[in-house]
Amino acid sequence: MSFGAALPTVDVAGVPADALVLDVREADEWAAGHVEGALHVPMSGFVARFGEVTEAVAEGRRAYVMCRVGGRSAQVTQYLVQQGIDAVNIDGGMLAWEGAGRPMVTDNGSPAFVL
């Protein structure tokens, strides 16, 4: 295994509509707007909830990891890859997602935005 290898990344246009999006932002960010169907596991509690992530990717699915701009998700992606999980960082995060016009939702039906 080579260390220092480039982190696997994808831009928002490369995220399939049926992808497993793993959102690692905090609860207030999630509440403002998120990708419909995403799995919300905040980075602050990630290790404690790691089992939920391994269950979600158990069917051989790739995890597309998302935060606001890509910093936190890069750290989580690196961790997942080290655990042998197929994960890629979404370059630009939710800001890029919103900028590309990709759909966002809220749990309460209010207009979605990136916090």
Share in percent of the chain as helix, strand, coil (round to 5): 35, 15, 50
Q: How far apart are CA 68 and CA 41, in angstroms?
A: 14
So which residues are the catalytic ones? Answer: 67
Inter-residue contact 43 to 72 (CB < 8 Å): yes
Contacts 24+ apart (CB under 8 A), 52-55: 53/22, 53/80, 53/85, 54/85
Positive or negative CA dihedral for 89, 42, 68, 56? positive
